Structure 1
Amino acid sequence: MHTMTAPPAAGLTRGYAAEGDFLLAPPNPVDRLSSRRIDPKDQRRLDLHAALTAAGIPPSPGDSEAIERLSDLPVTVHEALHRWLKTLS
């Protein structure tokens, strides 16, 4: 089965793959990212993983529960944790 999108505007031939078919433009990355927001708790969890790793303390698999609980804490606690971890790196 051959599917075809909409025909191009008159006079445009750039991106044609074959007669009567054409390639779509790549998506705009800004449009793709704007529709996907990460939960603040998940962002804190990812930031904590990165901060620990940068400080030379890579989290082990057994640390996941502790990191999850730390991710529930307010932003001010995370700012202090990051400040402390930066002194190690």
Structure 2
Amino acid sequence: MTGWHAFTTTPGAGPVFDPYRFPGAVADERPEARHTTLGLLEPGDLLWPAPDRGRERAMPLKPADRRRLDLHAALTTAGIAPRPGDLAAIEALSTLDDTTHTALQRWITRSP
């Protein structure tokens, strides 16, 4: 064999790149998969549409549930992690009236 000879390939075959030597090369005609928060999204995967905010029904919280959530938020903001045994106490405190609950939050957050 003298000189340089090109190897023949089958008609229609695209260039083949070694993915280890050329990591940015696309070896086939498919679009690349995209990474998402849920994992790998393949081309052709269907996604659920975004929820329509106009069709949502407003479900008001009961006052005790709202106070419980506010109490958890105040404890989290203050950097106090409730222990498993504290959940019953938080539940009991959330049944108190709004005035007492406001004072309790003021004590936790140390605001005037």
TM exceeding 0.5: yes
The amino acid across from 1:32 in the alignment is E
The amino acid across from 2:85 in the alignment is G
The amino acid across from 1:73 in the alignment is L
User: Is 1:82 matched up with 2:105?
Assistant: yes
Q: List aligned pairs for 1:24-63, cutoff 5 A.
A: 26-27=51-52, 29-34=53-58, 36-63=59-86
Distance 2:109 2:62 in 1: 24
Over the aligned positions, Cα root-mean-square deviation in angstroms equals: 2.2
| Larger RCO (alpha carbons 8 Å, 6+ apart) | 1
- 1:67 is matched with 90
TM-score (norm 1): 0.61
Measure how far apart 1:30 and its partner are: 5.0
The amino acid across from 1:79 in the alignment is T
TM-score (norm 2): 0.49
Distance 1:68 1:62 in 2: 11
The structure richer in helix per residue is 1
Percent identical residues = 52
Q: Which runs of 4+ in 1 moved over 6 A?
A: none
Distance 1:26 1:73, change over 3 A: closer
SS in 1 for 2:72: helix
**Unaligned runs of at least 5 residues, structure 2:** 1-48
Count of aligned positions: 63
Instruction: Compare CA radii of gyration and give the structure with the larger one.
Output: 2
